[in-house]
Structure 1
Amino acid sequence: MSRLRSKQDDLKKIIMVKTDPEQADLNRTLPLSAEQASQQNELRREYTNFTKLLAEAEEALTILKTRIAATSSASGKGNSNMPTVEAVMRTISKMTSMVEKRSGDIDVLENQMRKLRFSSVNSREGSPMVTPQRNSRSTMFSPERTAMASPGTLRHSFVSSVASYGGRGTPPRKKLSGFSAEEKSDLMAKRAKRQAVLNKLKANVERTGVSVWAMEDIE
């Protein structure tokens, strides 16, 4: 019964917004209802869990590729099937599209929450319960990162591309002052974790060298 009353109140607000512009401005400053706050908290939990699983998958994939390369080098196989830059870029593009698809699902849910709240983007940034923005998306598989690799041998090209990737950052979508202290802490933690993965990958490559794995299995 209480849920029906809550929905009835929401419908009244929607009607008032459509008929009275001043009421629409007023609603943008009002806090979320209990149901909307619950939905937002659930969305935040799902988003946090998604980014955690994505980071773990990236780390596991990096370690797996390193082990496959080390095994191929030890057995002497795969030397005649040297992967080309184009093949590597196609593989990275496929991985990137998968990540962007998941990120798009998050955007759809976020837009639905924004409509329920009757607020603009600026008012959401001023709220203490702002949903994390898409700039926390994983940059592990960004194609433009690997495009900065210097020419030369495959090993030096790969190592330099990893170093270049770790040193560059995606331009922020808003000023640093626009983030809350909690968001800044989360972003710094994610950046440190990804940098640790990159350092681990670089150390493994320098220790074992660059070897070849079957691109057909990845594609």
Structure 2
Amino acid sequence: MSPFVAHALAQAPLPIDEERALARAKDRSPLARNELVCANLRNVVLHALRLGHRGGDLDEAVSAGIEGLIRAVDQFDPDRGTRLSTFAWKWIAHAMTPSRPVEVVPVASVPSCDTRLLADLPAELATVLGLRFGLLCEDGVGLTIDQVAQHVGISRWQVRDREARGLSHLRKGVARVVDRAPAREPIPRSSIGRAFDC
């Protein structure tokens, strides 16, 4: 067991009044937010142990669980009558639950119109769009923003940003479809005139 995990287990829970005071101040005070997170690290470790994580796997599960705890602290409303430990439990559990494995199919091996459009994008945008809309998944089912973020190793914000930029590129590409149409010889004026001769 790492010293960090041992230290987290040794933390005593906050008294309810102190927890509520910190929770009410967390949006204005980074120090209060940080104190709430630190005081609830014990719950993260206990949840990881309950799920059977041990050794290096325990450290990874705790690290993921801390991300869930931070999100829970940010969403926590002390006036709803729930303790932070109860509220955060589902956030921690969700963060520790691995997403389903994704079988990514290389763009070149899927000769469809959709993936040809992706081939015109920068790789970082094509990957995000392909995963979000299922074009690069064997089952054809698109992934959630969280799943893409975890799979690619970027933040949710970066997934949204790349998705928006990728869609913008595609819109511009589709709008220029007329420019890509094969050029034809213009109809000679004399032919047009003859067509209307009576």
Is TM-score (shorter-chain normalized) higher than 0.5?
no
* Structure with a larger share of its residues in helix: 1
Q: Kindly name which structure, 1 or 2, has the bigger radius of gyration based on alpha carbons.
A: 2
Larger RCO (alpha carbons 8 Å, 6+ apart): 1
